[in-house]
Structure 1
Amino acid sequence: MINIFEVNETNKMIQQENLDVRTITMGISLLDCASMNLEEVNNNIYNKITRVAKDLVSTGQDIEKEFGIPIIHKRISITPISLVGASACKTSEDYVTIAKTLDRAAKAVGVNFIGGFSALVSKGMTKSDELLIRAIPKAMACTDLICSSVNIGSTKTGINMDAVKLMGEIIKETAECTKDVNSLGCAKLVVLCNAPDDNPFMAGAFHGVTEDDVIINVGVSGPGVVKHALEQVRGQNFEVLCETIKKTAFKITRVGQLVAQEASRRLGVPFGIIDLSLAPTPAIGDSVAEILEEMGLERVGAPGTTAALALLNDQVKKGGVMASSYVGGLSGAFIPVSEDQGMIDAVRLGALTIEKLEAMTCVCSVGLDMIAIPGDTPATTISGIIADEAAIGMINQKTTAVRLIPVVGKSVGDTVEFGGLLGYAPVMTVNPFDCSVFVNRGGRIPAPIHSFKN
């Protein structure tokens, strides 16, 4: 059982070290909203979300006040919409109407984001999947709270290169459609390999078809807490370093477990999972990069960075998994450039490149995240980057993702403001050599030999 003593123990972390619960995410199945009639689908979706999630935000606020734990976002994830709209949607414009309905429902219940304008196409695309994907640019342009994701590969199925090629084009089109706001639509669009069904973090969150009708997932955070703990063992050996991270991750996760249990009880909704991920913010002292630098790197990106990140990720999981009944989602360490001041500083100094970030994704929980690139980057180059990242996920049996933002009108060295938790980012250099012949081959990259375990 969790008691109030454990909460009190974390007061210093909350007040001085930027500890927070990053999100309470309510997962809602919309499978029962399907219909042959588009108007009926939209009505069903709006009615279910506003009925089920009506108390989500107020409950989160009550828990914040009662326990003194900051809960930064309240979010909703839903069944991938390409499944829900398959019978009713005959055009991409039909899917845009659903996006508007989702946005309206999210605003009605007061959440920060709603994720699940999504398609799962790791082996092939149905007509419905393709229509939804082609609707993404306009959907991102005409909504405020919608997050979109497309899963284009997995260890079991390989990589759908037709979908990879299409997503390069869709990202470019989304950037163009939202160019008036620094191509912000791309910041709410992620391409995944091995996407989990229970991820509470945006933009990759959706409610998997194997989940309960409604669940509560919680994402914790606390890079500042880990950094502060490591400052106390500066210069000591790796055994001490690892033990310190594990113990700290345990304490952070216990806070998330408390919030999840309280939210579940008060809302009358089953508890799903705790996501252990260390999620940075643009705030000073809330940086994953600074943790790695506290381990002994002059700057993140220096030789040793990948090893340091591997250590951090593993110890966070080892400590956190003991603190919660159910651990899931991504769970580890996020390395988004725009959301982490230490990462931004390293890019500006030339210590951190996209290639080094790609190497780091081999050992952390996510992928190339919130990276601004020149607006004139070819779609095939973006597709090539997606393919590289998906290959890392496929071969290593882990989730990887790409959230690139080709900012229209911006070049290397420019800085782009996104606002809020999305932060700001320097535009990074992209390898200029062409991969279009490879990307345009079509078909699938087959699953690796070690995927055959049945």
Structure 2
Amino acid sequence: MLNIFEVNETNKMIDQENLDVRTITLGISLLDCIDGNLETLKTNIYEKITRIAENLVATGDEIGKEFGVPIVNKRISITPIAIIGASACKTTQDFVEIARVLDKAAKQTGVNFIGGYSALVSKGSTKADELLMKSIPEALSVTERVCSSVNLGSTRTGINMDAVRLMGEIILETAQLTKDEDSIGCAKLVVFCNAPDDNPFMAGAFHGVTEADAVINVGVSGPGVVKKALEKVRGESFEVLCETIKKTSFKVTRVGQLVAREASRRLNIPFGIVDLSLAPTPAIGDSVADILQEIGLERVGAPGTTAALALLNDQVKKGGVMASSYVGGLSGAFIPVSEDQGMIDAVQAGALTIEKLEAMTCVCSVGLDMIAIPGDTKASTISGIIADESAIGMINQKTTAVRLIPVIGKGVGEVAHFGGLLGYAPIMQVNPFSCDAFVNRAGRIPAPIHSFKN
């Protein structure tokens, strides 16, 4: 049984070590909103979201106040809009109209983000998928709270290279349309391989078609808590190190389980999953990079970084799965650059490159996340990076993602400022050699041999 005493046990973590519940995300199915008439569809979408999510923010605030647990964000994820709008949307502008409705619904309910302006194209694209993808730059430039994602690869299907090529162009166009804000539109756009249906974290969250009509998913976070625990076992063996991470992860996840169950009870919406990821913020002491350095690295990026991250990710999962009846989403350790002060410091010190980050994504939860690159980077280069990251996910049967931000008008050594939880990021060097002939091939990369397990 979970009870308030378990939360009281974590008071020190909350007060001094930046423990928080990063998000309560309400997943809502929009399948029953589908209509061939665009105006009817828009009305259906707005009505259902605002009705089901009416009390989400207030309930989250009440739970946080009563239990003394900071609940930083309240969010909504929805069924991928390329599916929902397929019948009614005949142009990119039709999809942009839906994006405006989603933004209006997000503001009405008070959530900070709504995710699911998405397409699932791992094996091929429908006409609606293509229209939605091409509408993304304008949709993200005219809305504040809408987040977009495209899943273009999987272990079972391979990688849709036509979509990879298109998304390189889409990311650059999004950067151009939001260049006055350091191309922040790209911070709301994630490209996936093996995207999960129940991810509560933005910007990649969407409500999968296999999910219930509505569910509560919670994402917990506590890099500062793990860092403080490891300070007490500095110099000890790997066995002691691993046990410490597991025990700490267990306590952090128990808080998320309690909040998720309580939110589910009060909203009368089924509990889905707890995502037990270590998600950093720009706050000092809330850094995954600091954990890796506490394990024994001078800077993230030094030899041994990938091994240290693999250890951390595995122990977080081993501890967390014992603390919750349902663990899902991404779960592990996030390594975004702009949202982690330790990662930023490593880049500025010359210790961390995109190539080393790519190696680290082989063993962490997500991928190349919140990385600012020069604004004059070619679309084909962005597509090549997406293809590389997708291949890591496809071959290793794991989720990988790319959230690159080509900052228009800025180059290597300059800094992009995004504000809030998104923080700031130094512009990182991108390999200048061309991959044009590779990404311009039509078709898809086939699924790997180990995908055939029927």
- Whether TM-score is above 0.5 comes out as yes
2:92 equivalent to 1:64: no
Shift of 1:3: 1.9
Superposed CA deviations along residues 246-289 of structure 1, whole A, max 9, x for unmatched, are 00000000000000000000000000000010000000000000
2:245 equivalent to 1:245: yes
Superposed CA deviations along residues 399-429 of structure 1, whole A, max 9, x for unmatched, are 0000000000000000110000000000000
2:356 equivalent to 1:356: yes
Residue of structure 1 equivalent to 2:46: 46
AA matched with 1:228: K
AA matched with 2:144: D
Shift of 1:101: 0.1
Aligned pairs (5 A) from 1:250-269: 250-269=250-269
Aligned pairs (5 A) from 1:110-149: 110-149=110-149
Q: TM-score normalised to the size of structure 1?
A: 1.00
AA matched with 2:30: L
Secondary structure of 2:296's aligned partner: coil
Shift of 1:434: 0.2
What is the distance in 2 between the residues matched to 1:417 and 1:9?
37
Secondary structure of 2:175's aligned partner: helix
2:167 equivalent to 1:167: yes
What is the distance in 1 between the residues matched to 2:303 and 2:55?
48
AA matched with 1:88: A
Aligned pairs (5 A) from 1:7-26: 7-26=7-26
Shift of 1:83: 0.3
Shift of 1:442: 1.1
AA matched with 2:88: A
Secondary structure of 1:416's aligned partner: strand
Residue of structure 1 equivalent to 2:443: 443
2:434 equivalent to 1:408: no
What is the distance in 2 between the residues matched to 1:279 and 1:77?
18
AA matched with 1:71: I
Secondary structure of 1:241's aligned partner: helix
Aligned pairs (5 A) from 1:81-100: 81-100=81-100
Residue of structure 1 equivalent to 2:318: 318
Secondary structure of 1:116's aligned partner: strand
AA matched with 1:336: P
What is the distance in 2 between the residues matched to 1:101 and 1:55?
19
What is the distance in 2 between the residues matched to 1:350 and 1:368?
17
AA matched with 1:314: D
Residue of structure 2 equivalent to 1:236: 236
What is the distance in 2 between the residues matched to 1:402 and 1:438?
19
What is the distance in 1 between the residues matched to 2:184 and 2:350?
25
2:452 equivalent to 1:452: yes
Shift of 1:162: 0.1
Superposed CA deviations along residues 38-69 of structure 1, whole A, max 9, x for unmatched, are 00000000000000000000000000110000
Superposed CA deviations along residues 165-221 of structure 1, whole A, max 9, x for unmatched, are 000000000000111111000000000000000000001100000000000000000
Secondary structure of 1:316's aligned partner: helix
Residue of structure 2 equivalent to 1:273: 273
Q: What is the identity percentage for the equivalent residue pairs of Structure 1 and Structure 2? A: 80
Shift of 1:157: 0.1
Secondary structure of 1:88's aligned partner: coil
Shift of 1:225: 0.1
What is the distance in 1 between the residues matched to 2:79 and 2:116?
6
What is the distance in 2 between the residues matched to 1:112 and 1:168?
27
AA matched with 2:431: N
What is the distance in 1 between the residues matched to 2:322 and 2:411?
46
What is the distance in 1 between the residues matched to 2:28 and 2:89?
21
Secondary structure of 2:227's aligned partner: helix
Q: TM-score normalised to the size of structure 2?
A: 1.00
What is the distance in 2 between the residues matched to 1:289 and 1:24?
25
2:215 equivalent to 1:207: no
Superposed CA deviations along residues 221-261 of structure 1, whole A, max 9, x for unmatched, are 00000000000000000000000000000000000000000
2:429 equivalent to 1:429: yes
The number of equivalent residue pairs is 454
Aligned pairs (5 A) from 1:373-384: 373-384=373-384
Superposed CA deviations along residues 280-327 of structure 1, whole A, max 9, x for unmatched, are 000000000000000010000000000000000000000000000000
Residue of structure 1 equivalent to 2:31: 31
Superposed CA deviations along residues 21-49 of structure 1, whole A, max 9, x for unmatched, are 00000000001111000000000000000
2:195 equivalent to 1:220: no
Residue of structure 1 equivalent to 2:78: 78
Shift of 1:144: 0.1
Shift of 1:5: 1.7
Shift of 1:4: 1.9
What is the distance in 2 between the residues matched to 1:397 and 1:419?
34
Secondary structure of 2:152's aligned partner: strand
AA matched with 2:210: T
What is the distance in 2 between the residues matched to 1:418 and 1:126?
34
AA matched with 2:154: S
Shift of 1:391: 0.1
Residue of structure 2 equivalent to 1:104: 104
Secondary structure of 2:66's aligned partner: helix
AA matched with 1:81: I
AA matched with 2:128: S
Shift of 1:97: 0.0
What is the distance in 1 between the residues matched to 2:4 and 2:86?
48
Secondary structure of 2:425's aligned partner: strand
**Where do 5+ consecutive residues of structure 1 fail to align?**
none
What is the distance in 2 between the residues matched to 1:220 and 1:406?
29
**How big is the alpha-carbon RMSD for the aligned residues of Structure 1 and Structure 2?**
0.3
